[in-house]
Structure formats: C-alpha cells, structure tokens
A and B are shown apart, each in its own frame.
Chain A
Amino acid sequence: MMLDLLGNAQLWASTLTLAIPIAYAALGGVFSERAGILNIALEGEMLIGAFVAVAVSAWTHNVWVGLAAAAVAAALTAALLGWAAVYLRADHIIAGLAVNVLATGLTGFFFNTIYGPMGTPTTTPTVPLWKIPLLDRVPFLGQVLGTHEALVYVFFAILIASNWLMFQTPLGLRWRAVGEFPRAADAAGVAVLRVKFWAVVAAGAVAGIGGADLSVGILNSFSPDMVAGRGFIALAAVIFGAWYPWGGFWASALFGFATALSFQLQGVVGLSKNLLLMLPYAVTVMALAGVVGRTSPPAADGQPYDPGR
C-alpha cells in the first residue's frame, strides 16, 4: 500500500505545491540569518502577504499587482523588525514576536472591517497555472513538475538568483560577512547596519510572496488562521537546511511531503485526521532534535551589533 502511495504522482505534485509557501519563507529566513538577524517574524510576514495579496488582487482584479503589493507590504512589516533589531538593538526574538502579534491583529482587524463574516470576495483572481512545454508530456515527471501555478516556477528563479547573489558576488560576501563577523566587516568598510537592515527587508518580501502563495496561489481566499505555523516551520527548515538557500528548499520539501502524506493517508487508513495533521509539526521537531545533528549558524546570528563598542 505504501508503495502504491509513493508511486502516485499526485502525492509528489502536492508535495511541491505544499512545500513552496514554506520554501519562500525559508529563503527569507536564510536571507536574514545570513546577515545575523534571527527572524521569528516570518510567520507574521507571511500572514500580511497572504492578506494583502487577496485584498489587492480582488480590488484591482489583477493577481500580479496583488502579489507585488503583498511583497511590498510584507517588506514594510519586516522593516519594523529590521529597525528594532538593527538600529534599536532590540532582542531579535521579542521584536519578531511583536511583529507576529501585530500582524495577527492587523490582518484580523482589516479582514473584519473590510470583509466581515462573508469572507474575502469569491471573485478574487488566482495565480495562473503554467505548463512547461515538453516537460508536461513526460510521463510521471510531467505530472509531478509539468503543471503548477506560476509561483512554483517563480520560486526556483528567485532561488537560483539569490544563491548566485549570496555566493558569487561582492554584495553576497558582505551580506554573509555581517552575519559571521560584523566587527571585521565594519573594519573592512562594509556598512554593517545597512546591509543587515536590507537583508531583513528582502527576507520580508519573499516571505510575503510565500504567504501570498497560500492565499491566491493555492486558494483564492484569506482566513486569519491560514498561515498556521508555516513561518515557524520555515525557520526550522532554515536550520535543517544548514543556512543554505537550496538546503532550505529541500527541508521545506520534506515538510511539504509530510503534509501531502497526511492528506493522502486520510483517505486510505482509518486514522483520525487530527493525528495525521500532527505529522508536519512532529517532523519539524524531529528534524531539529535528531536528524540534523548540529549544524552551525552564522557566528553572529541573533546578536545585536553595536558599532560604538
């Protein structure tokens, strides 16, 4: 039975679908943690992205405008964390927590004042499906990879570009330097605080697209509890992926698989859905506790940098 399940292309296609929102946020996590900012706020940034994507897409009848707005809104949300963590030298976890609670409040407040109990408009446009020519005709592989909503493919473009940016360019070197050894970067003339701040903002933008993927990519509506811990799962994916962009993706794929599997199993075995829905969260705990062993974070991750001392 298990073999039948694993041979089911549907399972792998939905693994990818479910992994991508987390993978966006995990990429954001890599962005900010490589610059030394511990980013608990991914959850709130996803929530803001999810809401703004629906609101603006419904309003302009254009999902691309909605996505751009989601990225900008989430980047602004992240700027709040960036300002507090970088310039006010606030505790990263507490500042991130503040952003999350604030995002819950703001999205709930706007959702209720603008839409009320009827929910978001059912006419909200969604991200279009893209078919990859030729690939979509390959048996099995085509079913898994050939047809997805555009944000899945956009993700890989962003992933490849950011991997190049982080590891092949002078900017990337500065970016990683401020997270490893800010004092040295400072001495070498890098504007440490500015690099950290913009890394957090960039992280917010991609996490926001991840949230938007939940609301207008997979569905076409918003509900206040829709992110459901995915931002925190993404944070675990960052650690599990050893702070590498591709690592974060593969870790997200594992969580996507756990979720997809729990959906598939609901139809097959007589287990309670509540027990199966624990799976991605349990996998996250196990990933952090056992499987990873110890990977080391950027050396100055989570420490406020004070240029004056």
Chain B
Amino acid sequence: MTAGALWPFTATLLAFVIGGILAAGFGFNPISAYGALLSGAFGGAFAIATTLTNALPLMFTGVAVALSFRSGLFNIGAAGQYWLGAIAATWIGYRAAVPAWVHLPMALVGGMIAGAVWAALIPGIAKAYRGANEVITTLMMTYIAVYLGHYLIEGGPMQAPGFTPQSPQILPTAVLAGLVPGTQLSWGIALAVLLAVMVWLLLQRTAVGFSLRITGASPGAARYAGVSPRGTIVLALALSGAVAGIAGAVQVLGVDHRLYDSFSTSAGFTGIVVALLARNHPIGVLPAAVLFGALASGGNAMQISAGVPFHLVDILQGLIIFFIAGEGLLRYASWGRPNGQRPA
C-alpha cells in the first residue's frame, strides 16, 4: 500500500497522539484515559453492543454524506434530514394502526422520504437552479428541522398527553427488534450493512451511479457526457437525504421509541467525519463508524472513570478531519519540500 492509502490510519494515530499530549498538558494521564476509553468501548459483550449501537446511526449518516461527497456536493445538513426521518417515523410509528409486516417498513420508508424531501426540495433545487451554496442551505435547514421537531413536541401536534415535551411512544408493531437481549442494539445493523453495499453497487455498477460520480469528479465532463447537472444535483441530495432519513427512523424505531427534546443531532455531524475517514467509500464507512461509535461509548467511560472531559473525543474528531484534509502533509513527509515534486 502507498502512503496515501494508509493516510486515514496515520491521521487517526496522529490525532490520538496530539489529543494525548493535550490531555497530559491538563494533568490527565493519557495512558489511563485511553485505557478507559478502550475498555469502555470493547471490554465485554455489553460494551461492544453499546459501541455498535452508537455506530449504527453513523453508518447511515456516513453513507449519506459519502454519497453526496462522491457526487461533488457537501451535504453538511445530514443532521436535519436525520431529524426529519425521526419525526416521520415517530408519527407513523404511533399513529398508523396496521399489521406489523406493513408498519415497520412503512415507518422506515416514511423516514426515508422525509429525509429525501428535506434535502432535495429546498437545498437541492436552490443549488440546481439558483446556485445557492448547499453547505449553507443544508445547515440552515438543520436548524429549522430541530426547531420544527421541538415545536411538534412542545405544545405542538405531536406532544404526548401531559407536560413532558415528548411524543407518544410508538406502537409495538413498529418497533425494530433487538438483536442482543439486554442491550439497545437492533436489527438495524443488518439494514445498515445492506444499505452500504447497495449504495456501493449503485455508485459503481449503475448508470445513475456513474452520472453521480462523474458529476462529482468533473462537472464539465459530465455535461459533455450528456448528464444533466441540475437533475443530478437534486437526485444526489435526495438520495443522501433519504439515507440520513433512514438513520433517524432506525434510531427512533430501534432505540428511543419516541421523540424527545434531547434527541441528538450529533449523528448527522459525526457522519461527515466518518465519511471523510472512509474516503467516501460506502463500505469503508462501516469500520469508520465503528471507530466513532467506540469513541462515543469509550468517551463516556473515560469521563466517568478517568475524569477526562468527553470533549476530548470532539478534539480527536477535529484533528482527524484536519489531518485528512491536510493530506498535503504527505508531500512534506515524503520529499521534504513543500511542492512535493519528486526529486529528479
């Protein structure tokens, strides 16, 4: 393997080293901090199941973001599409009285459509027809999505009877069954793996995937090849949003079973890091998501048993993206000079 192919591993390692130095600078023992992190993430069946439960939404959002990146678009707003997916799945989950074999797929598809619409309808069309920067629009739509969710369950139409800002619980027919008893890990994990493979096949083996990739790689060449750039932009954001929407649906149907005020947006944002670490490869997203799932479960253990603030995990994430972005560092590393030309 070349240094370039190994770069995600090097980047991760570098981030951990710098994070450790920082923690040491604040009087924490980095060895015991990382030790607590490791055992919190992988020490025993329960820890591993928790890690995978944390990794699950990231697998979906990572694939969602990778899909948009491969199409040359930065869907930074997966978090908003995730919320919309969760809202739709919750609503279908408690409202629709249908047999189980219809209910669960219906809630998943509902979440998927909601996410797709949230990404494609405004950011997609605004980008395709008005050139509006999707980095900003998808992010603004995320803030709007979170406020929408809060509105719905704080005095809005989805609030459960009582004073707590939360939705009613979804019906048992919509629950995504558990995989490991006594943990929150659901069959959603099989769905995530299946979806990653499907997206990979879509990108690599279909005409639609080709038009997405060529638009991402070279918009000029895409136009030359007869690919409509506008249609591709809307489609790419719709697909990306759809996957992020499924993430929200799986989280509600498999873990939370209702919508709370504190329903997290972090999966959407961490999905960006996951996609970048996986170099936007849908299958590569799976192990990258497990790494970040482990950081989340291990980070909690680290905070509790070693007293190191959980935010060290955010710092590690930032450093990982930074090193991934700064792959140009390799030019220094390889040839010792900034322009990186091979010595003649």
Contacts and interface: CB of A to CB of B under 8 A. Distances in A.
Interface of A: 40, 80, 83-84, 87-91, 93-95, 97-106, 108-109, 111-113, 228-229, 232-233, 235-236, 239, 272, 274-275, 277-278, 281-282, 284-285, 288-290, 293-294, 306-308
A153 B135 CA distance: 32
What are the 6 tightest A-B residue pairs by CB atom distance, in nearest-first order? A102-B318, A105-B314, A88-B328, A108-B311, A105-B315, A98-B322
Interface residues of B, number: 54
Contacts of A275: 147, 151
Contacts of A94: 276, 321, 324-325
Nearest to B150: A274
A90 B155 contact: no
A90 B151 CA distance: 40
B274 interface: no
Given A40-B135, A105-B316, A272 B151 contact: yes
Interface in B319-334: 319, 321-322, 324-329, 331
B141 interface: yes
B131 A294 contact: yes
A285 B122 contact: yes
Contact of B273 (A83, A84, A101): A101
A307 to B, nearest CB: 8
A285 B314 CA distance: 28
Given A105-B314, A112-B311, A274-B147, A91 B325 contact: yes
Contacts of A289: 122, 125-126, 130, 132, 137
B130 A102 contact: no
Contacts of A91: 325
Contacts of B276: 94
B144 interface: yes
Contacts of B123: 285
B288 interface: no
A204 B16 CA distance: 26
Contacts, number: 157
B140 A229 contact: yes
B140 A101 contact: no
A235 B133 CA distance: 10
B318 A98 contact: yes
Main secondary structure of the interface of A (DSSP, over half): helix
Contacts of B327: 88, 90
Interface string B24-37: 00100000000000
Nearest to B321: A98
A288 B314 contact: no
A244 to B, nearest CB: 17
Given A108-B310, A288-B126, 8 more contacts: A84-B326, A91-B325, A105-B317, A229-B143, A233-B140, A274-B148, A285-B140, A294-B130
B312 interface: yes
Contact of B126 (A87, A101, A285, A307): A285
B309 A288 contact: no
A272 B159 CA distance: 13
5 contacts: A89-B328, A94-B324, A233-B140, A236-B133, A281-B144
Contacts of B256: none
B139 A104 contact: no
B130 A288 contact: yes
A86 B321 CA distance: 17
Contacts of B22: 109
Nearest to B138: A285
Contacts of A109: 22, 309, 311-312, 314-315
B266 to A, nearest CB: 10
Nearest to A277: B147
Contacts of B130: 288-290, 293-294
A232 B138 CA distance: 11
A132 B63 CA distance: 55
B141 A285 contact: yes
A104 B135 contact: no
Contacts of B262: none
A278 B322 contact: no
Contact of A274 (B151, B314, B324): B151
B155 A281 contact: no
